Structure 1
Amino acid sequence: MTLLTFRFAPSPNGELHLGHAYSALLNQKLANISGGRLLLRIEDIDTTRCTPEFEAGMIADLKWLGLDWEKPVRRQSEHFAEYGTVLERLIREELVYPAFMSRGEIRAFIADGEKRGRDWPRDPDGVPLYPPADKALSMKERKRRIAENAPFAWRLDVGAAMARAGRDLAWAEFSDGTLSTTRSVEARPQDWGDVIVARRDIPTSYHLAVVIDDALQGVSHVVRGQDLFSATGVQRLLQEILGLQPPAYFHHRLILGPDGRKLSKSFRDTGLAALRDAGASPEEVRRMIGL
């Protein structure tokens, strides 16, 4: 019998807060009640902001909370070659293209369109979708710009990818109370436009790395915050075109700050290290987050 596999996957670019504690402990709870596995993954592809110091602090916080996980820990920064191999496949299959527009050029392009009375589409986070100009460049022009060291990112051609998928996409969303109760959610990757899947100097992005890692590690159930609910559509599309088995998902409630906003790593008063230093116990943290 295959064990259910859960994972907690933080980025070491700051200190963990109460929201991370809720997600980590909920993953552990579901792994325990199902007799499954809990993995820890360090999502550190952003090598400029992620540091060994933050990673050490996160692991200390998680051990203080009482978490235990299977070894070894997977660090994304150690697997760029694997991501690069998948990226090369997407390039060969013409499902991605090099996008050269800077942020300033994107703003100018959109502003010009809006002056002409066109409402520019935006993604679920309110960010304008990437303009289509680069997708129309010839292969010769793309190669010329790359050869001249022009800055670029690899973007997923969502239209081509959806055509390749060839069917309506959905994912199974389960409840935290029972792993057997699920509902089907329509995946709408088109709402995000042509998302970045890799940088020129880093052969992956969050979206690409997470679907590869989940598949390689045999993750069966992804438990994460409601803020990533809509982004699951992009990941389902990548899973489909790469032939990867999709996990089931549960997007849990968010722990909010005193002002009612989602917590971030800049909220030091809700940071786990600060709470521990102030004398809080792991049991008190569990009560604070409703576990």
Structure 2
Amino acid sequence: MDAAMRWLFAPVPKGRIAAFRTVVYSFVALDLTVFTPWVRSHANTPAELYQPLLIGRLLHLPTPGPALVWTVFWLLLALSLAAATGRAPRALGWAVFALYFEWMIIAMSYGKVDHDRVGLLVALAVLPTAGLARHGATEMSEKGGWALRVTQIAVICTYFLAAIAKLRFGGIDWLTSAVLAQAIIRRGTWLADHIAVVPGLLIAAQFGIILFELLSPLIFAVPQKWRNWGVAFFYSFHLMTFSMITISFAPHLVAMTSFLPLEKVRPIAWLRHRTATRPAVAESGG
């Protein structure tokens, strides 16, 4: 039990939390305006088409209309940008989580539910508990470690449960079915068209997908020095998916940055360094 708690609350630098917070909340603003702008169209969708998810029914959430959709949109856009700065992490964090949760209910209650947002929703739910964190801070935080670990678990559950769903609803025949072929017919790219003609390759890819998803929890057993390579493989998997059938999984990819040492990426500090050294370089060159 003690070992499990140490693993779950393994401390991380506060700078990593600050960077992760900026990445997540900045993505929320991008999601509203770039990735899923179609959600705003539900402001004018007929009310009878609204079939709320179970959680929406349990919470008795209102039927979306122009007032609700546009209020949530503008509030969420403003608050997510404010939260990305790291100020008032609890107040802004809980507000962004509640509004984005409602935004997802609005988005997914018309017949299509995406599973690429589980990790992002969990990240939004736990970030407010991580407390204050400054970019570049090296102080270690158990609260921050817990927030990242829970997000990581959600990311891996997305893979593992996707495999379980495939086998549950498609059975073992899913492995030899025409799932990928149908996806390529519907939305395949030039690359996919050339790959699809290779005999047996799509079936082999389906075996590979199931194997990858079922074994994804092993990322937690990989030594830390190799874990980044494992995460890089995850990203390459999604890069290949996008290059073949243009499915991006952008929210999931954002949540997956919880595995990365984001505190080492400090573009503002780099720009300051460049600005500070430029005059010296110019003077020495003259």
Q: Scaled by the length of structure 1, what TM-score is found?
A: 0.27
Judging by fraction of residues, say which structure has more strand: 1
| Structure showing greater Rg | 2
Judging by fraction of residues, say which structure has more helix: 2
